[in-house]
Amino acid sequence: MMFLRSCSLALRCRRFTNPQVTIRAFGSSRTARKDASENALDLDAWKSVMRSQALQEDSKIPSRSALDDNRELVEMWHQAGKFVPKNITDEQLEDLAQLTTRSAKKKYLKFLAIKESHKITKKEKQEKKKSEREAGEREQEELRNTFLLKFWSSSLDRVQSWRAAQAMRFGQPLVYDMSYEQHMSRRELENTVAQLMESEGCNRRASDPFHLHFCNLQPNGAYHRELLKRYGSHTWERLLITATERTHLEVFPQRDLVYLTADSKSVLHTFDHSKVYVIGAMVDRSIHSGASLANAKRLQLATARLPLDEYLDWECGAKNLTLDQMMRILMTVKDTGSWKKALEFVPKRKHAGFQQHSSGFTGAAKSRFVRNDSSESRFVRNDSSESRFVRNDSSESRFIRNDSPESRFVRNDSPESRFVRSDSSESRFSARAQNQLKNKTDGRKKQPERAQCREDGH
């Protein structure tokens, strides 16, 4: 170390003079010293080069605002190789200045850096494509002859708009409750509006749309501004939904409202077409458990949650679903009545598949058991089964505590074969049991089929 320092000092005084004079004092082999001295020559040469590049500085601005400080922070972090954007707008700098802690600033800058890198890669791709296109020959597109008229997208828009307008007059209402401004951060609000747009679009494309209401939407509130920003004022004016600042309690009678929230204790088993379902327009990345339930409790509304536990083998993940997932689920269950089809829209990473045996029951089950008692002959074969069918509770053990081979066999059967074997009484018994098993979802649909079975028996 000392040797090098003396060398570098020597260099600074007189560049490129022969340093071997100082070296001989140490008495080692000459060639090694020569290499080392050349290295020493090299090792500090960069310092002199850098010093000569001193920045031509303009006089420092005496008044430094928070914005300037933050801009400098971002610049220097970028030069130091940290994951921050190269260019940052004034608006973003203001947001950055609002954040106080180091980690908050870093996270925000990381987000901006990722956005920037996406933009850059997109631009590069575009330019590449452009250059390729120009390089390659332009192929002549053949004019195609066809008797089919082209279906323009504006025609599709018109069809969908008519359907939406019809839904506004005659369709079932669905309410999004927009009263969660205080609970959400800016980012969560942006996410909420994105999800609302997504669900509105999905609704518009459906064959039987809901009549969407955005209730509690304060004009010039955060929601409204964000919606205007995303939709654009032109589209927002012409959107076929009802956006009002009245609460849902003022628009609909209290007995018709059902608030859907994951914290509710009562489960929604059948979709009621006469009720108005309310969904809280909230994204809770920062968990506010019970916020939507609190809102429902305050207004004394009925609450319900989706039958996720009843149908899905839940693994890990929040049971709060996004707004567009909710829309799709409700749409599907309205159209088909089948929870199995509807709950396909729950993200697959959260669950391990549908449960093999279900423990759900529906309101229609009671009437079914009344009918079963009338035909006793079928239950003679199996004493335990009679008691099973008489007892009306929904416990899963009914199906498990079952040692009769037929019902076990029945559970795995496919629905089609049920009608094939309708001549023998045995299969009719099995059909009956199978009905009970399958009846969780589509109670009303199966009734005419059951009647058919019974008629065959008699």
Partner 1 sequence: MKKRAGMDTEELSPLRTRGSVKIPPPDHPLTISEWAKLKESSSKPDHFEMQMMTGLLATNADVNIAKSLLAYVVQDKGTLTYELLLRYLTLCVSGGHHSEVFDTYDIMTTCFKTLDTGASSLFIKGFSQTERWREALVVLEGMKKALLPSPRNYSDAIAGAALHGEIETSWMLYDELLELGLVPNQDTWQCLFQSGISQQGQEDKLFSVLSYMRDNQIYPEEPLIKTIKAWFESLPDQKWSGKFSYVAPSGECKNCKASLESIQLTEEEYAELKDKVMKKVIEGSDVFKKTTPEELNSFKSFVKQRPPFDIVIDGLNVANTTPKATHSETLLAVVSELEQQGLNILVLGRKHMLQPSRNWDRQNMNKIKQKAHCFFTENISEDDPFLLYAALHSGVHCNFLSRDLMRDHKACLPDSATRRLFFKWQRGHQLVISHYAPGKRVWFQRISAYDTIIQTSGSSWHIPYDENRGDRATYEVPQKWLCLTQEH
Residues at the interface with partner 1 (CB under 8 A): 1, 4-5, 38-39, 42-47, 49-51, 53-55, 57, 64, 66, 69-70, 72-73, 75-77, 79-83, 97, 102-103, 105-106, 110, 263-265, 290-291, 293-295, 297-298
Of 161, 154, 221, 157, whose CA–CA distance to 193 is shortest?
221
CB 368 within 8 A of CB 450: yes
Minimum CB–partner distance for residue 334 and partner 1 (Å): 27
Q: How far is the CB of 173 from partner 1 (least distance, A)?
A: 25
- Closest separation in Å from C-beta 311 to partner 1: 23
Cα 55 to Cα 447: distance, rounded to the nearest angstrom: 87
DSSP-derived pairing of the beta strands 312-314 and 351-354: antiparallel
Q: What b/e string do you get for 114-135 counting C-beta neighbours within 10 Å, with b at 16 or more?
A: eeeeeeeeeeeeeeeeeeeeee
Which residue, 184 or 206, has its beta carbon nearer to partner 1?
Answer: 184
Q: What is the DSSP string of 411-449?
A: HT--HHHHHHTTTSHHHHHHHHHHHHHHTTT-HHHHHHH
Nearer to partner 1, 42 or 139 (CB): 42
Report the residue number, 172 or 264, with the smaller CB distance to partner 1. 264
Q: Is 67 helix (H, G, I), strand (E, B) or coil?
A: helix
CA distance 413 to 135: 62
Q: With respect to partner 1, which residue has the nearer C-beta, 97 or 365?
A: 97
Whose CA is closest to 339, among 437, 442, 209?
A: 442
Q: Which is nearer to partner 1, 73 or 453 (CB)?
A: 73
Q: Which residue has the tokens 């679009």?
A: 201
Nearest approach in angstroms of CB 365 to partner 1 is 21
Q: Where are the alpha helices (DSSP H) in 337-424?
A: 339-342, 365-374, 383-390, 397-400, 405-411, 415-420
Please say which residue, 257 or 343, places its beta carbon nearer to partner 1: 257
Give the nearer residue to partner 1 in terms of CB position, either 117 or 235.
Answer: 117
Cα–Cα distances (Å) from 51 to 46, 47, 76, in that order, read 9, 6, 20
Smallest distance, Å, CB 69 to partner 1? 4
- Work out the angle at residue 234's Cα, subtended by the Cα atoms of residues 327 and 229, and round it to the nearest 5 degrees: 65
Calpha distance 317→349 (Å, rounded): 8
Compare residues 75 and 373 and give the one whose CB is closer to partner 1.
75
Residue closer to partner 1 by CB (options 21, 54) is 54
Amino acid at 225: R
Q: Please say whether the beta carbons of 253 and 303 come within 8 A.
A: no
CB nearer to partner 1: give 64 or 348. 64
State in angstroms the smallest separation of the CB of 294 from partner 1: 4
- The residue with tokens 């309310």 is 278
Torsion of CA 240, 242, 243, 244, to 10 degrees: 160
Are 405 and 381 within 8 A, CB to CB? no
Q: Tell me the closest approach of the beta carbon of residue 83 to partner 1, in angstroms.
A: 5
CB of 263 to partner 1, least distance (A): 8
3-class SS at 153? helix
**Minimal distance in Å, beta carbon 39 to partner 1?**
5
CB of 316 to partner 1, least distance (A): 20
- What is the nearest approach in angstroms of partner 1 to the Cβ of residue 452? 40
Identity of the residue, 20 or 233, whose beta carbon is nearer to partner 1 in the bound complex: 20
Closer of 47 and 118 to partner 1 (Cβ): 47
CB 325 within 8 A of CB 346: yes
| Minimum distance from residue 110 beta carbon to partner 1 (Å) | 8
